[in-house]
Amino acid sequence: MIDEWLLDHPDEAMRSMLLELLERRYDSASTVFCTQYAKKDWHQRLGSGVHADAIMDRIVHNPIWVDTGTHNMREHVTMNQ
């Protein structure tokens, strides 16, 4: 399990593990990514190399995207208290 998708820039070992995990799950299981980063920034945060290409290839085919918007819920809750 990855707590926060791309909170830190993954190193080569992490990218290899991610690729292997996504390859095994591709077309057989669901994978949920939770992040505050825009999809357009994922490739760069993954390192922009061959592994990033392969990881993104497995993520963007047959997805179901749930966009929760741009509101910061912590700020929203604080303002309404």
Lowest mean pLDDT among 7-16, 19-28, 36-45, 69-78: 69-78
Comparing CA positions, the residue from 65, 53, 64 lying closest to residue 19 is: 53
Residue 34 falls within a domain, yes or no? yes
Domain that holds residue 54: 12-79
Q: What is the pLDDT of residue 69?
A: 72
Q: What is the pLDDT of residue 20?
A: 94
Residue 3 falls within a domain, yes or no? no
Across residues 50-78, what is the average pLDDT?
A: 80
Residue 72 falls within a domain, yes or no? yes
Residue 50 falls within a domain, yes or no? yes
Q: What is the pLDDT of residue 43?
A: 92
Domains in the chain: how many in total? 1
Top-confidence residue, 69 or 28: 28
3-class SS of residue 78: helix
Residue 29 falls within a domain, yes or no? yes
Tokens of 46: 């993954």
Tokens of 20: 């292997």
User: What does the buried/exposed string (b/e) look like for 37-60 if buried means 16 or more CB atoms within 10 Å of the residue's CB?
Assistant: eeeeebbebbbeeebbebbbebbe
